[in-house]
């Protein structure tokens, strides 16, 4: 039936890279991706702020409907992040306390909803990562249609099944499966540089001469 499709996920980032990236701020990784990729400023952490990291199991659903989200939670493997493109609509909540509790007991790494959630008080006090665009008390429909493990896009950020999903208090980021290794090397180096800068600030030795040099290069005169 058109609109009801469940595809196999053919690949997923390894647990080794999931753990390595968990220690690097999303902003550092984003800088290494030329600041071209983001899940949109509306997708915010609804939980207590614990970092999110894991391979994507993607869902595309009609706004306000969560039938295929329920199915995705059954199909997801421990460590997966269920990423739902619900069109960004905030009229109906896609998930709430029941579904997040079920996902947590199955060992999932988190849930991303490009749409609304409810039971936000309980979710806010939980360490289980949940990102969403908004909150409403009005519940979902359960009729479909939807797709599982299709390519989706959140505010221009393309996500393929098995890509690495990362999140912290700054927001969400998706790393393409075939770029994970190179991005880890670049982001690790970027993070080390920033750690060194913070140490220099604490010691009062930070070199800021680049500011005047940059202004001069832009045509500014003393």
Number of alpha carbons in the 13 Å side-chain half-sphere of residue 34: 1
Measured CA to CA, the distance from residue 165 to residue 76 in angstroms comes to 14
Closest by Cα among 105, 113, 127 to 47:
127
Percent of the chain with pLDDT over 90: 91
Contact 94, 87 (CB under 8 A): no
119 is in an annotated binding site: yes
For 110, other C-beta atoms within 10 Å of its C-beta total: 26
pLDDT digits (tens, 9 = 90+) for 114-171: 999 999 999 999 999 999 999 999 999 999 999 999 999 999 999 999 999 999 999 9
33 is in an annotated binding site: no
Q: What is the pLDDT of residue 36?
A: 79
Q: Which of 193, 194, 167, 162 is nearest to 179 (CA)?
A: 162
Q: What are the E-state strand segments in 17-64?
A: 44-45, 52-61
Alpha carbon 54 to its chain centroid, in Å, reads 9
State yes or no: 155 annotated in a binding site: no
- Is-contact 78 108, C-beta < 8 A? yes
Cα four-point dihedral sign 26, 18, 126, 37 = positive
CA–CA separation, 87 and 75 (whole Å):
22
User: For 2-53, what is each residue's pLDDT tens digit?
Assistant: 778 999 999 999 999 999 999 999 999 999 998 878 888 899 999 999 999 9
Q: Is residue 35 annotated as involved in ligand binding?
A: no
**Beta pairing class for 52-61 and 4-6:** unpaired
Chain centroid to CA 21: how far? 13
Cβ–Cβ under 8 Å, residues 114 and 153 = no
- Domains detected in the chain: 4-178 (3.50.30.40)
CA 213 – CA 199 distance, rounded (Å): 23
Q: Which residues pair with 157 in a beta bridge?
A: 154
Q: What is the mean pLDDT of residues 171-176?
A: 96
pTM, whole model, 2 decimals?
0.93
């Amino acid at each position: 039936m058109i609109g009801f499709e469940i595809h196999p996920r053919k690949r997923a980032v390894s647990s080794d890279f999931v753990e390595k990236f968990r220690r690097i701020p999303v902003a550092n990784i984003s800088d290494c991706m030329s600041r071209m990729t983001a899940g949109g400023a509306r997708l915010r952490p609804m939980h207590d702020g614990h970092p999110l990291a894991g391979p994507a199991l993607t869902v595309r659903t009609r706004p306000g409907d969560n039938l295929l989200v329920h199915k995705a939670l059954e199909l997801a493997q421990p460590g997966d992040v269920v990423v739902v493109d619900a069109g960004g609509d905030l009229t109906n909540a896609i998930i709430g306390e029941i579904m997040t509790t079920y996902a947590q007991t199955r060992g999932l790494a988190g849930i991303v909803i490009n749409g609304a959630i409810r039971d936000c008080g309980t979710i806010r006090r939980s360490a289980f990562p949940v990102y969403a665009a908004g909150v409403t008390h009005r519940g979902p429909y359960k009729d479909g249609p939807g797709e599982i493990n299709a390519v989706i896009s959140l505010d221009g950020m393309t996500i393929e099944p098995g890509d690495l999903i990362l999140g912290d208090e700054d927001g969400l980021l998706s790393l393409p499966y075939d770029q994970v290794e190179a991005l880890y090397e670049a982001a690790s180096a970027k993070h080390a540089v920033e750690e060194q800068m913070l140490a220099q600030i604490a010691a009062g030795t930070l070199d800021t001469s680049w500011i005047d040099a940059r202004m001069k290069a832009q045509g500014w005169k003393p």
